Amino acid sequence: MNAHGLYGYKYLDHYWTEAGRYAYFIQIDEQYAGFVLIRTEIEGEFHSGIHSIAEFFVLKKYRRMGIGRQVAVQAFDQYPGTWEVCQEPENKPSILFWDRIVGEYTHNQFEVRMGSKQRVLIFQSPAARI
């Protein structure tokens, strides 16, 4: 976020104009708490025809309440198939979060690869369990 509370993302408009891009806002008690941007049917780091978390953000005051886990699981369930979750190698909190969430979700049946600039978790999401 910048000084005005805005989150600058140069591809944001594409989520309303291109197929295979989905934007979801996270709300708690009618307050915005974050967002998740999902891309699907893209060329991934290691696979094609996959789903990917493009951006995932929960405001600090809503973290450590299980909200991020709930949103991630809903996303994985909504889009069954192969997933890649990319992380910046130096972002240790992100790595800890995603390793825990994906590990719980898949019963530790995921692969970790180092891409050209990112650490990538690869796993399968079964058909929606809802």
pLDDT digit string, tens, across residues 44-84: 666 667 899 999 999 889 898 889 999 999 999 999 899 99
**Pick from 3-7, 16-20, 55-59, 89-93: least confident:** 3-7
> In angstroms, how far apart are the furthest CA atoms of the chain?
41
DSSP, res 103: H
Regarding predicted confidence, which is higher, 65 or 115? 65
Order of strands, edge to edge, in the sheet holding 48-58? Answer: 21-28, 31-43, 48-58, 81-87, 119-125, 111-114
- CA–CA separation, 116 and 122 (whole Å): 15
pLDDT grade, residue 15 (50/70/90)? confident
Nearest 5°: the CA angle 113, 23, 85 is 10
Q: Is 92 exposed, middle or buried (0-12, 13-18, 19+ CB in 10 A)?
A: exposed
> Which pLDDT does position 41 carry in this prediction?
74
pLDDT grade, residue 85 (50/70/90)? very high
Q: What is the mean pLDDT of the chain?
A: 86
The pair of three-digit structure tokens given for residue 31, joined into one six-digit string: 């307050």
